[in-house]
């Protein structure tokens, strides 16, 4: 791993990190990510890694297959929105995430939904709205005593959005 990557916040899955410029998760260690997907058995993890590799068509196919087995999974629905975001279907991604907010409130997925909504706004260059969504996710993560890596990733996203909003 290069020195630059050491500063990238963890993306929540082994072998992945958040690019602090784009705020997109990326695979930074192929072997670690592949081993973790194989050990996981959770189809959502495989979808996440495909997205982190930029393989959106394969991610969409894997997500559709996984949703057959678990159509109510909030995590898979968030990944569906991320696939839409990656394909620049930002209005649809925003609508999906906003529809998930009530169901995700007061669940461990709630901050993820807020954070992903921030990423949609960030992708649309709506940096003030992104900062607001990231701030909400960060507040929830801190209040719930979340993992420090999650808090750091949310902090990096918030700082990046605020910097661009102020520029």
Angle between helix 110-123 and 127-143 (nearest 10): 160
Beta pairing partners, 10: 17
* 155 located within any domain: yes
Spatial neighbors of 158 by CB under 8 A, at least 6 apart, are 131, 134, 135, 138
> How large a percentage of the chain has pLDDT more than 70?
96
Q: What integer is the mean pLDDT of 20-46?
A: 94
pLDDT of the residue at 38: 95
pLDDT of the residue at 106: 85
* 9 located within any domain: no
pLDDT, tens digit (0-9, with 9 covering 90-100), for 116-131: 999 999 999 999 999 9
Residue 149 belongs to domain with CATH number = 1.25.40.10
What global pTM score does this model have?
A: 0.91
* 6 located within any domain: no
Count of structural domains, the chain: 1
pLDDT of the residue at 147: 87
Q: What is the extent of the structural domain holding 92?
A: 24-166
| DSSP type of residue 10 | B
Q: Which two tokens stand for residue 30?
A: 């192929």
pLDDT of the residue at 3: 45
What is the four-CA torsion angle of 130, 98, 123, 53, rounded to 10 degrees? 120
pLDDT of the residue at 156: 94
Among candidates 152, 85, 151, 140, which has minimal Cα distance to 114? 140
Residue indicated by tokens 């109510």 = 72
């Amino acid at each position: 791993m290069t020195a630059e990557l050491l500063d990238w916040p963890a993306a929540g899955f082994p072998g992945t990190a958040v690019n602090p410029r784009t705020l997109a998760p990326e695979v930074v260690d192929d072997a670690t990510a592949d081993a973790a997907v194989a050990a996981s058995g959770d189809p959502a993890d495989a979808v996440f890694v495909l997205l982190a590799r930029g393989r959106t068509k394969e991610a969409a196919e894997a997500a559709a297959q996984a949703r057959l087995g678990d159509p109510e999974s909030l995590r898979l629905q968030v990944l569906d929105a991320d696939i839409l975001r990656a394909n620049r279907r930002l209005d649809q991604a925003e609508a999906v995430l906003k529809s998930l907010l009530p169901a995700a409130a007061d669940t461990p997925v709630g901050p993820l939904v807020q954070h992903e909504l921030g990423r949609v706004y960030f992708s649309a260059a709506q940096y003030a709205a992104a900062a607001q969504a990231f701030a909400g996710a960060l507040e929830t993560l801190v209040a719930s005593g979340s993992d420090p890596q999650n808090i750091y990733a949310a902090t990096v996203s918030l700082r990046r959005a605020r910097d661009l909003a102020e520029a």
